[in-house]
């Protein structure tokens, strides 16, 4: 059976790319908070309507609403045999609720992709996204343009998902990036501490080439699955 996997990591660590790559290879859904919010709103479920009202007011979606949306998503047939969660949980409250949701579904494997801040800043400062669907298209050099002189080439680059034009995010400058990373560390450290003592927790060196990270990720998942043993995925 495919694993129940949580991917943690700061902006620019590559967790979204790795999550999608792993999920596609195992034939399981990659579930991101953004995706499930949009799906719930589009489907018009009760909790989706609650989320839409909150977002329309420009407010952050609360823990209880996010937990409800994730619970609904994980009950769908395609997620019963395993999944990859990207962007959830974000708080210890959400993590505790997820444990309850997963009580009879086997252990959660938690991977934390670790990258030095200087490398994260470098990556994010040269990142491209699709202006139509918002997909992360990686860095200029990976997308086929020169990171030293992307002007004139970026317009020719198109999103592999929807064909939209690839652009740089307006807020991907060093000062803003460093502040985003600071906020991430502050918010996420308690979550990492919550999971760290579990036999199903692993850290991955995300500063390596993407293929190496992917290989380490698979090895870590196998080791974590074996390590779970009779411990399950919860604290004793």
Per domain, the residue ranges of the chain are 4-28+81-231
Q: Which of 2-6, 10-14, 133-137 has the lowest mean pLDDT?
A: 133-137
Q: Are residues 69 and 97 in contact, defined by beta-carbon separation less than 8 angstroms? A: no
Element (H, E) at 114: strand 108-114
Active-site option among 90, 105, 122, 178:
90
- pTM, entire model: 0.74
49 a catalytic residue: no
Fold assignment, 4-28+81-231 = Rossmann fold (3.40.50)
Q: pLDDT of 77-131, one tens digit each? A: 999 999 999 889 988 999 999 999 998 888 899 999 999 999 998 888 777 778 8
Cα(193)–Cα(21) distance, rounded to whole angstroms?
26
178 a catalytic residue: no
Active-site option among 71, 105, 165, 169:
169
Q: pLDDT of 176-211, one tens digit each? A: 888 888 888 888 889 999 999 999 999 999 999 999
185 a catalytic residue: no
Active-site option among 21, 127, 198, 202:
127
Q: Are residues 109 and 8 in contact, defined by beta-carbon separation less than 8 angstroms? A: no
180 a catalytic residue: yes
Active-site option among 21, 50, 180, 202:
180
Cα(50)–Cα(125) distance, rounded to whole angstroms?
35
15 a catalytic residue: yes
């Amino acid at each position: 059976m495919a694993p129940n996997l949580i991917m943690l990591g700061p902006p620019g660590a590559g967790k979204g790319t790795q999550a999608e790559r792993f999920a596609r290879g195992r034939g399981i859904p990659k579930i991101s908070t953004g995706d499930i919010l949009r799906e719930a709103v589009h489907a018009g479920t009760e909790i989706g309507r609650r989320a839409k009202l909150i977002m329309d007011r420009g407010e952050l979606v609360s823990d209880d609403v996010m937990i409800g949306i994730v619970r609904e998503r994980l009950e769908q047939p395609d997620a019963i045999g395993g999944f990859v969660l990207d962007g959830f949980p974000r708080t210890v409250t959400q993590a505790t609720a997820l444990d309850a949701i997963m009580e009879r579904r086997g252990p959660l494997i938690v991977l934390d992709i670790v990258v030095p801040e200087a490398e994260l800043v470098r990556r994010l400062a040269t990142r491209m996204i699709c202006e139509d669907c918002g997909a992360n298209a990686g860095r200029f050099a990976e997308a086929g343009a020169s990171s030293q002189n992307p002007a004139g080439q970026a317009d020719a680059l198109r999103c592999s998902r929807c064909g939209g034009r690839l652009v740089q995010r307006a807020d991907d400058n060093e000062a803003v990036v460093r502040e985003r990373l600071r906020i991430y560390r502050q918010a996420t450290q308690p979550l990492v501490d919550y999971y760290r003592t579990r036999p199903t927790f692993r850290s991955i060196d995300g500063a390596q080439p993407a293929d190496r990270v992917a290989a380490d990720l698979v090895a870590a998942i196998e080791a974590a699955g074996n390590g779970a043993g009779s411990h399950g995925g919860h604290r004793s």
